Amino acid sequence: MKFCILAALVSLVSACTYQGKTYKNGESWISQNAFKIKCTVESNGSWKTDVVACLTPKGQKEVPVNAGPVSEGQSDFECVKNENGQVVLKESRGRLADCINGKKQGETWMDKSFKFRCDEGGQTKFIACVTADGHEIPASGSAMINGFEVECRQHTNGTISMGASSKMKELDCKTESGKIKKQGEEWVDKAFVHKCGEYGQTKVVGCRPSNYEGTIELNQNATQGELTHICVKDGNSYSFKTVQTKA
Ligand SMILES: *[C@@H]1O[C@H](CO)[C@@H](O)[C@H](O)[C@H]1NC(C)=O
Ligand SMILES: *[C@@H]1O[C@H](CO)[C@@H](O)[C@H](O)[C@H]1NC(C)=O
Ligand SMILES: *[C@@H]1O[C@H](CO)[C@@H](O)[C@H](O)[C@H]1NC(C)=O
């Protein structure tokens, strides 16, 4: 009997009481499927209960108080104790989350001429431009494609674009016989008037038969005495002929 009383006393001073249950020093338990609580008994006999971890809603994974986040599914969870001693579980988009278009992390996809990848936190990252013939140019980089420097740009306003390098705009043109022409310069080759445009690209702008003054514009006819000159552009092909017109 004496022993029994002593035992009861000891248990009384060395236990926590929580919602009608008693717990030993160091013991922990789960409350409301949301918190892990631990009993601490001081040497002077006073005791306290502390939340030591939160539990994730689905997997009931432990998230230690005020420690790094724990991932579950698409979310990251943090268990935060504020100044008032309140403990709350905070949820944020997880490091392992999918991207909003449903792609998994590490997956890449194309949208028009642009290539994207799903990165950590479900962030969509623009990684490259892809030319029609399959050349990849890294974002904010450039590459020589068929003799042209092409840039893959990411503007500060968020838009992305692919195009000839602005350096190339000033390029000279080369005639069929290998002569160099400056931008804006015109020359005649086999009755066709050529003009050097931007990016070193030569365009046919009209026709000029020998002993004819000026340029006959594309898809125009010009009469010269009894002759009619016919200058035609059809798609990407050009033709020129002169016919005799009966007066
Ligand atoms: C017992 O000890 C704890 C920590 O050492 C202290 O916070 C508490 O006030 C003490 N309680 C009593 C009743 O002395
Ligand atoms: C974004 O900036 C680029 C380059 O400065 C510009 O060409 C483009 O029109 C801008 N787009 C929008 C939507 O403002
Ligand atoms: C030019 O001449 C051809 C042949 O006579 C004719 O078919 C064509 O319609 C003419 N084009 C113009 C623009 O007058």
Confidence of residue 11 (pLDDT cuts 50, 70, 90): very low
CB within 8 A of 152, min separation 6: which ones?
128, 129, 137, 138, 139, 140, 141, 142, 143, 160, 162
State the closest ligand 3 atom to the C-alpha of 228, by its place in the atom list counted from 1: 2
Residue nearest to atom 8 of ligand 2 (CA): 159
Domain ranges of the chain: 9-93, 108-168, 171-244
Q: Label the pairing between strands 87-93 and 108-111.
A: unpaired
Q: Cα(167) to centroid of ligand 3, in Å?
A: 42
Of residues 234 and 166, more confidently modeled? 234
Cα–Cα distance for residue pair 108/118, rounded to 1 Å: 6
- Quote the DSSP letter at residue 8: H
Ligand 1 pocket: which residues have CB below 6 Å?
A: 42, 44, 46
Q: Label the pairing between strands 21-24 and 15-18.
A: antiparallel
Query: How many helices (H) and strands (E) are present in the chain, helices listed first?
Result: 1, 25
Q: Cα(129) to centroid of ligand 3, in Å?
A: 45
Confidence of residue 93 (pLDDT cuts 50, 70, 90): confident
Q: Give 135: exposed, middle or buried? Use CB within 10 Å, 0-12, 13-18, 19+.
A: middle
- CA 17 from chain centre, in angstroms, equals 54
Contact between 204 and 238 under an 8 Å Cβ cutoff? The reply is yes
SS3 73: coil
SS3 113: coil
Q: Cα(245) to centroid of ligand 3, in Å?
A: 12
Of all ligands present, the nearest one to the C-alpha of 40 is 1
Residue nearest to atom 5 of ligand 2 (CA): 155
The dihedrals phi and psi of 10, each to the nearest 5 degrees, come to -60, -45
**pLDDT, tens only, 178-225:** 999 999 999 999 999 999 988 788 999 999 999 899 999 999 999 998
Q: What is the pLDDT of residue 5?
A: 45
Length of the chain: 247
State the closest ligand 2 atom to the C-alpha of 157, by its place in the atom list counted from 1: 1
Ligand 3 pocket: which residues have CB below 6 Å?
A: 219-221, 230
Around Cβ 199, how many Cβ atoms within 10 Å? 18
Confidence of residue 13 (pLDDT cuts 50, 70, 90): low
Q: What is the pLDDT of residue 74?
A: 87
Around Cβ 203, how many Cβ atoms within 10 Å? 12
Global confidence as pTM: 0.48
Dihedral-angle region of residue 5 (phi above 0 means left; psi in -120 to 50 means alpha; beta otherwise): alpha
Confidence of residue 90 (pLDDT cuts 50, 70, 90): very high
Q: Cα(41) to centroid of ligand 1, in Å?
A: 10
| Nearest Cα to Cα of residue 237 among 215, 221, 218 | 218
Residue nearest to atom 1 of ligand 1 (CA): 44
Q: With 70 as the cut, is the pLDDT of residue 6 above it?
A: no
Q: Which of 13, 44, 47, 48 to mutate to test the pocket of ligand 1 (most atoms within 8 A of CB)?
A: 44
Residue nearest to atom 1 of ligand 2 (CA): 157
**pLDDT, tens only, 41-51:** 999 989 999 99
Q: What is the pLDDT of residue 117?
A: 97
Residue nearest to atom 14 of ligand 2 (CA): 157
Residue nearest to atom 9 of ligand 1 (CA): 46
- Extract long-range pairs of 23-28: CB within 8 Å, 24+ residues apart: 23/49, 28/52
Q: What is the pLDDT of residue 198?
A: 83
Q: What is the pLDDT of residue 247?
A: 57
| Nearest Cα to Cα of residue 217 among 228, 206, 201 | 206
